[in-house]
Amino acid sequence: MSDKPSSFLLNRRQALGLIAVTAGGGVFLPATAGAQQASPYAGLALFDNGAGVCAITPEVTEGPFYFDPKLERADITEGKKGVALNVRLQIVDAACRPLDGARVDIWHCDAQGAYSGYPGQGDGQDVDTSGLTFLRGWQKTDANGIVSFATIYPGWYRGRTTHIHFKIFLTDNSVMTGQMFFPDSLSEQIFTTVAPYNDRPGRRDTSNARDGIARQAGPLSQAALREKAEAYEAMMVVAVKAA
C-alpha cells in the first residue's frame, strides 16, 4: 500500500445514510451541499458568509498526549497511512469576527490508535512512539481566521470516541483547548472496511454518546464532514473569548 493517505470515499447511497445522525454524532455533508445549507450548526455559515452571534465553544481536557514539536506545517501526516482528511478550523470571537494570526495546534492518534511521542500505548501498552512527531503540527490563522491541515482520519483507543485535539493561542497567556468529534456512522464504516484501520483486532468500545468528554463538549464540537474528490473535509467553527 502506498504511503500516501488513501482517498477512500463513501458512495452516494452510503453518504445519504450518514446525513441524518443523532445529536452529538456529527453530520456528513454531501459533496454538492454548502455548509450553510446542509449543516445543523449555524456557525459553519461563517466559512461562506460570516455575520451572526457565535456561542463560545466549550473547552475540554487537553489529555495526556500533548507536546509542542515546534513544527509549523500544513501537512502533518509524515507518511502515516489512512483515509485522507483535510481539517479546517475557523477561529472567531463571540461576535463572529475572524481572528487573524492566532496559533492553532492540532494532534491526534493514527489509524491504530497511537499518538506520536509517548511510550506505553496500544491495547497491550507495548507501543512506544517516543521521539516521533507524526500527526502533530501548528499554523497561524489567515485573515479569515482559518487554518487547514492535511492529515488522516483518526483511529480510536480504548475508552475514547474518535477525536482530534486542538489548542488555540491568542497570546502566550490566553489559550483555549478543545476537541473535534466525528460522526459515529462514518467512523464505523471506515474502521470496519478500510485498511489499516480494519487490520486492528476488536472493535472500538466507545461511541460519541458514551464518551464523557464528547458529551461535555456538546454539538458545537462536532465536525461537519464534506466529501471532496481526494479527501474528506472536516470543518468546525471555534468561537473563543477575546484575550
Measured distance CA(105)–CA(107) in Å, rounded: 7
> Residue 48: what pLDDT?
52
Average pLDDT over residues 48-61: 74
> Which pTM does this prediction carry?
0.84
- Whether the predicted pLDDT of 27 surpasses 90: no
Q: What is the pLDDT of residue 44?
A: 53
Q: What is the pLDDT of residue 3?
A: 58
DSSP letter (8 states) at residue 74 = S
CB 221 within 8 A of CB 236: yes
Among 108-117, 148-157, 172-181, where is mean pLDDT lowest?
172-181
Domain boundaries, the chain: 12-239
pLDDT at 31: 43
| Nearest C-alpha neighbor of 182 from the set 199, 167, 161 | 161
CA distances 123 to 50, 208, 234, Å, are 44, 20, 27
Rounded CA separation 88/242 (Å): 21
What band does 53 get if pLDDT is binned at 50, 70 and 90? low
| Whole-angstrom distance, CA of residue 82 vs CA of residue 51 | 36
Cα separation of 137 and 105, whole Å?
Answer: 6
Secondary structure element (H or E) that encloses residue 14, with its range: helix 12-19
What is d(CA 90, CA 81) in angstroms, rounded to the nearest whole number?
Answer: 26
Q: Tell me how far apart the alpha carbons of residues 107 and 115 are, in angstroms, rounded to a whole number.
A: 8
Task: Record the cell numbers describing residue 38, joined without a space.
Answer: 446542509
More confident residue, 47 or 67: 67
Give mean pLDDT, residues 10-23.
37
In the predicted model, is pLDDT for residue 190 greater than 70? yes
Beta strand segments in 93-186, E: 103-107, 136-140, 146-152, 163-171, 174-181
Q: Is the pLDDT of residue 162 over 90?
A: yes
Type of residue numbered 115 = Y
* Residue 160: its H or E element: none
Q: Which residue has the higher pLDDT, 137 or 56?
A: 137
Euclidean distance between CA atoms 147 and 102, whole angstroms: 9
Residue 16 has pLDDT above 60, yes or no: no
- The CATH architecture one would assign to domain 12-239 is Sandwich (2.60)
Mean pLDDT of the chain: 82
pLDDT band at 96 (very low <50, low <70, confident <90, very high): confident
Dihedral (CA of 71, 75, 77, 83) sign: positive
